[in-house]
Every structure is written in structure tokens, then in C-alpha cells.
Amino acid sequence: MKKSSKSEFSQQQVLDTAVEVSARKGYHDTRVDDIVEASGTAKGAVYFHFPRNQDVFR
């Protein structure tokens, strides 16, 4: 099943934000809640694209 453009945008938004937040706070101090707040996405969207926290950074 191909992801929709909206889904791809959401995934890229989460990735871009995760890089920014982790660069500022460090990998070990970055929480999913930090990424959710900074990206303006729902926590469910983060876990939809990245079921485990470390999946964001792979």
C-alpha cells in the first residue's frame, strides 16, 4: 500500500523536527513528547510512522 502525500508530509515533518530537537537537546534527552510539541503533530501520528522511539532516528 502506497502512503498518501499527506502521510509522507507528516512523516517528513516528524523526521525534520526530531533532528532539530535532538540537535538542541541531545539524543538521550529527546522525548517523543518534545517532538510532538515542536512538530505540531499528534502523538498518534508519530507512533504511526515510528512505532518505537528509536525508529525515528534510524
| Count of structural domains, the chain | 1
- Report the CATH number that the domain containing residue 35 is assigned in CATH: 1.10.10.60
pLDDT score for 7: 79
**Long-range pairs of 42-46 with CB within 8 A, sequence gap ≥ 24:** 45/10, 45/14, 46/14
Least confident of 16-20, 45-49, 51-55: 51-55
The closest alpha carbon to 33, from 18, 43, 44, belongs to 43
C-alpha cell at 26: 541531545
Would the pLDDT of 1 be above 50? no
CA–centroid distance for 14 within its chain? 3
Query: Quick one: pLDDT band at residue 30, thresholds 50, 70, 90?
Result: very high
pTM of this structure: 0.78
The closest alpha carbon to 10, from 48, 37, 57, belongs to 48
Whether residue 39 contacts residue 49, with contact meaning beta carbons closer than 8 Å, is answered with no
Q: Which domain holds residue 30?
A: 5-57
